[in-house]
Structure 1
């Protein structure tokens, strides 16, 4: 591990950077230093905005000039950007299904985490930054599980990030997933309202009256002899929500290693399935610049389509 001492930096705040707290700006700008150091240099007055001391909660305005003092950064091997020659990184370039000046939308493969951490050297966002070194700003708008495939929104401007995340908070974004579940889903089961509580030790989520209110809406897409393809639309955004709600009503998702049923996995495995059958297939939201509604569809990978085709043959 080596250290780098930076020089004094002066940053002009533009419209896209404006509106954020200065402490959050510094934590993003100085990614390699601990949070405690950010607050220390603010408290000691070493950070200046327009030549004046500011508090952590100061909100930056367009036209502000921020002075960032010299700091010592630690270079860690695990923080090196992933090589763009790695197959998993390179394939993400082909998974971009929409892009403009404000955002890009990825059809994330199953097995790829959205970001590094917990023993993972990199995730989708780190890979995209390696593929787009010229991009000044790339941030996740939301998250989906590592084993879930499908739509992932990435903001290319801070203003777009704020706009899109506000839509998620206000629950105006409409998200639709495809899930292959065990057994015959009842047509009368259109909504599951069941509070969810996450175990912070092992991250397992359970239905619990002391948990957070959680709602998922379901629609049958196709019935098979011993399985059902359903469309799931989460109204709330809890961890593992769709996976736990399907399990709760007795229809776990195929190849769910936490909430699934091994008998169902063995059954679908004979058709070539070896991954969680949960795919973020469709999203509707307001474009952060044009203010017009957008609808994006992400196709399922061939392995999922082949599994459905196999089920159709068995059911005919």
Structure 2
């Protein structure tokens, strides 16, 4: 269900496997219960979540003091979060800003609106991966449900393997997972800055030589890229 990336007395960081439900179901325990059981931890607090299809980094607090400090940073958009996605090769734009209110669509989906009352804010870079596919490096400035999935669909590059938003798969491409991964995050706790980078370790297109070359072109450390200053939602 997960791989342990970092542990301390105040928090832990794990990498969730693709396809794992955060909340669990009739056949599997919830992710936080699995962490408690495997690591022998009794006090554990979830601070954010990932969709079932999404793999990668999650941080959990281990003390109430850490909960207060980290939750405040999430609320104030001070946690830096970067994702990797594989999607269509012909987006409406190859990099830039996607911003708009998110409204409920049909069958549990969301739609990006043209209004900006409480907008979801996403920025991305991309590069060619292979015929039919591009690699997207995405930064979240807000944390809405399905935000990246909706943002990439809005530029005609839905996440490969996302059965809710990606209805057309390029010829010759056979997705074996949803290709969205929580790649890097940074935060400050107790005056100490922590930064984590965790490349994906599952999925044939994430493990390909072409992916490694594409990520190297984008920059394996997302903090080396130029990201505009933090943007506030109203």
The structure whose RCO (Cα within 8 Å, separation 6+) is larger is: 2
| 1:113 equivalent in structure 2 | 21
Q: Which has the higher strand share?
A: 2
Using structure 2 for the length normalisation, give the TM-score. 0.81
Counterpart secondary structure, 1:250? coil
Counterpart secondary structure, 2:48? coil
| 2:33 equivalent in structure 1 | 126
Kindly indicate whether the alpha-carbon contact (under 8 Å) linking 2:84 and 2:182 is maintained by their aligned counterparts in 1: yes
Indicate whether 1:142 and 2:48 are aligned.
yes
Counterpart secondary structure, 2:6? strand
Looking at structure 1, the residues matched to 48 and 143 of structure 2 have their Cα atoms a distance apart, in angstroms, of 10
Counterpart secondary structure, 2:111? strand
Looking at structure 1, the residues matched to 30 and 52 of structure 2 have their Cα atoms a distance apart, in angstroms, of 9
The structure with more radius of gyration: 1
Looking at structure 1, the residues matched to 209 and 108 of structure 2 have their Cα atoms a distance apart, in angstroms, of 30
| 1:247 equivalent in structure 2 | 153
Note the aligned Cα RMSD (angstroms): 2.4
Indicate whether 1:154 and 2:60 are aligned.
yes
Indicate whether 1:285 and 2:187 are aligned.
yes
Using structure 1 for the length normalisation, give the TM-score. 0.61
User: Of residues 113, 130, 140 in structure 2, which corresponds to 1:234?
Assistant: 140
Label 1:310 to 1:125 Cα distance change in 2 as closer, same or farther (>3 A). Answer: closer
| 2:167 equivalent in structure 1 | 261
User: Of residues 267, 288, 306 in structure 1, which corresponds to 2:207?
Assistant: 306
Label 1:221 to 1:282 Cα distance change in 2 as closer, same or farther (>3 A). Answer: farther
Shift in Å at residue 305 of structure 1? 3.0
| 2:77 equivalent in structure 1 | 171
Give 1:31-180 correspondences, 5 Å limit.
88=1, 92=2, 95-116=3-24, 121-133=28-40, 135-180=41-86
Residues 155-190 of structure 1: per-residue CA shift (max 9 Å, x gap): 111111111111111111111101111123466641
| 1:225 equivalent in structure 2 | 131
Label 1:144 to 1:175 Cα distance change in 2 as closer, same or farther (>3 A). Answer: same
Kindly indicate whether the alpha-carbon contact (under 8 Å) linking 1:108 and 1:151 is maintained by their aligned counterparts in 2: yes
Looking at structure 2, the residues matched to 275 and 168 of structure 1 have their Cα atoms a distance apart, in angstroms, of 28
| 1:208 equivalent in structure 2 | 113
Kindly indicate whether the alpha-carbon contact (under 8 Å) linking 2:93 and 2:155 is maintained by their aligned counterparts in 1: no
Structure 2: runs of 5 or more not aligned: 214-234
Label 1:188 to 1:247 Cα distance change in 2 as closer, same or farther (>3 A). Answer: closer
